[in-house]
Amino acid sequence: MELGFTIMRRYLFAAIVICVCCPLVQAHAETEPPIEQKVEQLLNKMSLAEKIGQTNLRGRSSRAKGPLPDSLKATVRAGNVGAFLNVMKPDERDELQRIAVEESRLGIPLLFGRDVIHGFKTIFPIPLGLAASWQPELAESGARVSAIEATELGVNWTFAPMMDIARDPRWGRIAESFGEDPVLTSAFSVAMVKGFQTDDLSNPTAMAATAKHLVGYGAAEGGRDYNTAMIPEGELRDVYLKPFKAAADAGVASMMTSFNELNGVPATGNKFVLTDILRGEWQYDGMVVSDWDSVIEMIAHGYAADKKQAAERAANAGLDMEMTSDTYELYLAELIKQGKVNDAQLDNLVRNILRMKFRLNLFDHPQRRKVEKSTILSAEHRQLAQQAAVQSAILLKNDGALPLTSQGKIALIGPLANAAHEQMGTWVFDGRAENNITMLDAMQQQLGKQNVLFADGLAYSRVKVQDGFAAAIEAAKRADRIVFVGGEESILSGEAHSRADISLPGAQEALIKELAKLNKPLILVVMAGRPITLGNIINDVDAVLFNFHPGTMAGPAISDLLLGKVSPSGRLPVTFPITAAQAPIYYNHKNTGRPANDKDYVPIDDIPVQAWQSSLGNDSHYLDIGFRPAYPFGYGLTYSTFDYSNLKLDKTSLNMDGKLHASATITNTGKREASEVVQLYIQDVVGDVTRPVRELKDWQKITLQPGQSQTVTFTLGTDQLAFHNISMQNVTEPGDFNLWIAPNAASGLQTSFKVIE
């Protein structure tokens, strides 16, 4: 936390400096016309071609060789480009910006976009890992660090945060999500927006954020990337759109449409979402960009016959800027001439783009900020990344093997133990392996080289051949304890990297089983981009510390946790299934008419041969694995234990517009200082449309000394109980509610209250 605060303090200092200079700022503000006026003045000067130019987002590969092509410079000079992505050489960016500002007719500066997802050079845990900390303030500080590093090199726009609700662990992009819960996801989304942008986009270290992907991308059928999403409107609004609304309210500069079709209409051409909801209901005035080629992909979707129709549908739906494909550039002028897109609509799109550029203060400061001394990968940034990694680790099992004592030798085995690149996780374009500290580096440094025997056993996570086993087993034989570090390589999650089998890939399970035969304490450390099913080996290991790819500082963070310098405090932001076949799986599901329960469940082996065909006793479960997940949402252990008692409500009946206070006493009943994530859930028992079995409403992460108790109090307002009813009104309905204060979504202290009219 300390570092997060240091960064925040600097931030405060900047605010004070601004305040001290307030009279100056004010005087300047008085002479400066407001942004809307500047937008209109500029728009009035623009030709049709220049307007269309602003809607073009062009790519330049970060691996592009040779000097900038003259044709590209000429396009910028002619005012035919509004933004670039992936121009990574700072001098190239400077040159393009100079041409735009000095040599194009109207001097409109360019946006330089980049996927700065979970760090720029200093890599933080993947977003799913950040969410496991249940500390949005860590995500905010991390995003601040990313913005400071990226703006130093001239990136002024990030395509993050991704706020897609993810209920399917097969989906590769679950890694980039904050998990399955809309309230948790909203909190992390807003935190990241604030971290990237600060409170004022014109701040030189502010980087415009992008809420993506609008909307429903995470609901891809079967967890297969890009697949169809069918989402009823109520659920769309209550679950999938919720984080976007929160981000819009927090002032996110832009949004990105998604690749998927939503209820039959591709998101990129979806007027209902882009215009009716976003501009109409939410009054959002930021900019909306497509995803990579998602405008022309409407042809493959079967929603546009050709590029021209794709442009027409996207423009009329309200898509401001087109990423990489060129349908606007080729056809907007003609569409306007033919009256298929009207001038006023084009003006609307361009207004949104110009407004964002003015908000970023690019007209006054188009070039990257000057720094006296680079802070990229500074000790402070790395320490913050380490802290985030520590807080994100989830202890799933511990039979007492953890924490490790420092005596004796440790065998460090497995494909992720010394894999500097793989520990960063998906969608990292600027982080480099050589800046990272692996578990091998960190453990040898902490315990001495002679005490940490290393043999990976498997060169990378997917390897099936077992010729490295002998050396690994040999190392394990010479040690007192074995730490197996496995999981997934970075490339096994993220975009287009869905998996049908989400167990440990390759021969990892086989190697773990061999190691287990040695009868020594065996600790499994996982680094992965999604939930992993561990059922095949869970009984072979004594402890499991699960990490969603932790980033640059994975080594020191995990070593500190294994050695007990700090107790694990991460909690699952997604449900872990027993098998991928349970997906989609999420805690806030509906009850069904035949809710699963232990009393009625008949396991497959107990069914008599030639049993009479009957559905009695058969509830909503699987014959072979029952109805529970492997680990519920919100779950996580630590090196201590906590007791929940004394659940109290200050009232049991609540007026509309009222508030209630719910409290419980949490006691650290173990022997170590540890943190607990105390979670507040409710259930609306009867609704105009059925409600989930539980819904997270709030949480607090607290740290207690051994024996210490704390009363945790939550304030719950009736507005938090609202949902979209059958007529799509957002309402809180009177009636009975259950309430839990709980350590996870499958347990806790329960009581009830009423909402009365």
Contact positions vs ligand BGC (CB under 6 A): 85, 115, 159, 212, 291-292, 495
Residues 236 and 231: their CA atoms lie apart, in Å, by 6
Q: Which amino acid is at 559?
A: S
Q: Least distance (Å) from ligand BGC to the CB of residue 121?
A: 18
Do residues 426 and 549 touch, judged by C-beta distance below 8 A?
Answer: yes
Residue with tokens 């953890």: 402
Catalytic annotation present for 364: no
Question: 214: which residues sit within 8 A by CB, 6+ positions away?
Answer: 244, 255, 256, 257, 258, 267, 273, 274, 278, 288
> Residue 502 is encoded by which pair of tokens?
């989400």
The partner residues of 695 in beta bridges, in order of sequence, read 682
Do residues 260 and 228 touch, judged by C-beta distance below 8 A?
Answer: yes
Residues 644 and 751: their CA atoms lie apart, in Å, by 13
Question: 249: which residues sit within 8 A by CB, 6+ positions away?
Answer: 190
Burial of 432 from C-beta contacts in 10 A (0-12 / 13-18 / 19+): middle
Cβ closer to ligand BGC: 79 or 172? 172
Residues 145 and 142: their CA atoms lie apart, in Å, by 5
Q: Which amino acid is at 570?
A: G
What are phi and psi for residue 491, nearest 5 degrees? -75, -5
The SS3 of residue 97 is: helix
Q: Least distance (Å) from ligand BGC to the CB of residue 162?
A: 7
Do residues 331 and 311 touch, judged by C-beta distance below 8 A?
Answer: yes
Q: What is the DSSP letter of 626?
A: B
The partner residues of 736 in beta bridges, in order of sequence, read 754
Cβ closer to ligand BGC: 115 or 441? 115
The CA angle 64-70-71, to the nearest 5 degrees, is 90
Other beta carbons within 10 angstroms of residue 593's beta carbon come to 8
Ranked by CB distance to ligand BGC, the top (closest) residue is 159
Residues 456 and 483: their CA atoms lie apart, in Å, by 11
The SS3 of residue 716 is: strand
Residues 280 and 615: their CA atoms lie apart, in Å, by 49
Q: What is the DSSP string of 153-201?
A: TT--EE---B------TTSGGGGGS--S-HHHHHHHHHHHHHHHH-S-T
Cβ closer to ligand BGC: 61 or 653? 61
- Return the HEC string of 668-710: ECCCCCEEEEEEEEEEECCCCCCCCCCEEEEEEEEEECCCCEE
Cβ closer to ligand BGC: 212 or 621? 212
Terminal-residue alpha carbon distance, the chain: 43
Other beta carbons within 10 angstroms of residue 47's beta carbon come to 11
Please, what's the b/e burial string for 453-465 (b: 16 or more CB within 10 A of its CB; e: otherwise)? Answer: bbbbbbebbebee
Q: Least distance (Å) from ligand BGC to the CB of residue 145?
A: 20
From 115, 164, 291, 542, the catalytic residue? 291
Other beta carbons within 10 angstroms of residue 526's beta carbon come to 25
Cβ closer to ligand BGC: 426 or 436? 426
Question: 451: which residues sit within 8 A by CB, 6+ positions away?
Answer: 408, 409, 410, 444
Residues 559 and 439: their CA atoms lie apart, in Å, by 7
Cβ closer to ligand BGC: 85 or 562? 85
Do residues 415 and 486 touch, judged by C-beta distance below 8 A?
Answer: yes
Q: Least distance (Å) from ligand BGC to the CB of residue 85?
A: 6
Q: Least distance (Å) from ligand BGC to the CB of residue 229?
A: 14
Residues 698 and 741: their CA atoms lie apart, in Å, by 10
Alpha-carbon torsion (427, 441, 536, 134), positive or negative: negative
In 3D space, the residue among 400, 401, 395, 399 whose CA is nearest the CA of residue 636 turns out to be: 395
> Residue 461 is encoded by which pair of tokens?
């996570």
Cβ closer to ligand BGC: 115 or 488? 115
Do the bridges between strand 749-756 and strand 735-742 make them parallel or antiparallel, or are there none, so unpaired? antiparallel
List residues with catalytic annotation: 291
